[in-house]
Amino acid sequence: MEGRSANQQCPAVHAGRCGCKNDGEALSQSALPARCMPGGVAVSTMEGRSAIQRCPRGARREVWRGLAPLPMAEADGAGGGRCQRRGLGAEAERDAESPGSDPGASGDSDMELLRSLLSRTLGLGGEKPEKVLEELTLEGVSRFLQSQRCRNVVCMVGAGISTAAGIPDFRSPGTGLYSNLQGYDLPYPEAIFEITFFKEHPEPFFALARELYPGQFKPTLCHYFMRLLQDKGLLLRCYTQNIDTLERVAGLEPERLVEAHGSFFTSHCLRPGCRRQYGLPWMRERIFSSLVPKCEQCQGLVKPDIVFFGESLPSRFFTLLQSDFQQVDLLIIMGTSLQVQPFASLVSRVPINTPRLLINKEKTGQSDPLMSLMGFGCGMDFDSDKAYRDVAWLGECDKGCLELAELLGWKKELEELVRKEHAAIDAKATQGDKGKAVGGSQDPPPPSGDGTETPPH
């Protein structure tokens, strides 16, 4: 229970999540299969404090920590935890021993967890750091990117890559989304993205959605730089916190894209017995008609498949990061504050010798080793004498991508791609306006639902 500790009985043996509940809220969720034995004890913690939760011998050990509030494009999640404004999230750090093993094995698993954390954050007891960049500059990154050692690039992106398209980020003073919600009569700014508030008062969110709705903006040069990486066979995956679908518009293949906090691309009825799915055109028509979208089948409230506070992140996110962050040769982080756990912790999941490039307005993701060991921060090191793999390019994301493209010899190709794609978007918009003037909307019909569909993964 929020604000105090309580012992809960873990209900049964099952896989996927430790599902102890308190007043209907899941206290723990695991990104990987968890085995919680009957009669096991799960411990909830006071808000904002770290604690250890132990399930019985043979189960998973999970580390709990408080999460700061961020919705949608910045409501980060790398464990199985729910997005909660004032809640707690859990990250399953390490598998423990199998059921039925020796009782003393529990201590061994504890040591293995500590060993893993030390190796990952301090480079102790594992692979030794090796400097793979010739120099810790954008030039050094460009030469590595062109070498045979770099075959798999992972991009992690946030709201900062879309500001050049006219979409506000969340936190910039004066211009950020949270600074401009006074007209929506909210109890607090984050409420507009909170699932419990949305179910009772959906009108403010849909009013805001009219201003931010996909289809009104063009992808930025940064989006098309990732498209070039894909076209050249270098992009393993793009992990985006954004819900604006501009990665899709820029031509990133669905297989290369992980929308960590969902998107407007599909919507679902919120009634558990229905869950009918609707497409982007269906939702757009209702939002721009100033209607609260209601299900055609049961008249339940229909919500875009974006992650609100109080909702779980897509399972695809957890499934792919397990393999992607073992294979990655270069991590490029763009337009994100890296202030909120656990999304920011993805940065520390890459192999110890994998270079990490930050393209952002300011340096971020830095933390001291002790905080990293406790699970907070990313431990990025740009300036110390021990820095060996992290590079920060400070400025607008588009300018950083253009400079990197120039160093790679891709500048003209990138500029031509942006020009061609933007012209195609303009032409399509013009054709659509003419079609509406003659015969109404040209949107295709929404997909049908069979009442059993679940949110997209």
Going by C-alpha positions, the residue among 126, 217, 137 that lies closest to residue 426 is 217
Is 422 among the residues known to form the active site? Answer: no
Q: How many residues does this entry show for the chain?
A: 457
Active-site residue (options: 261, 268, 422, 457): 261
* Catalytic positions: 261
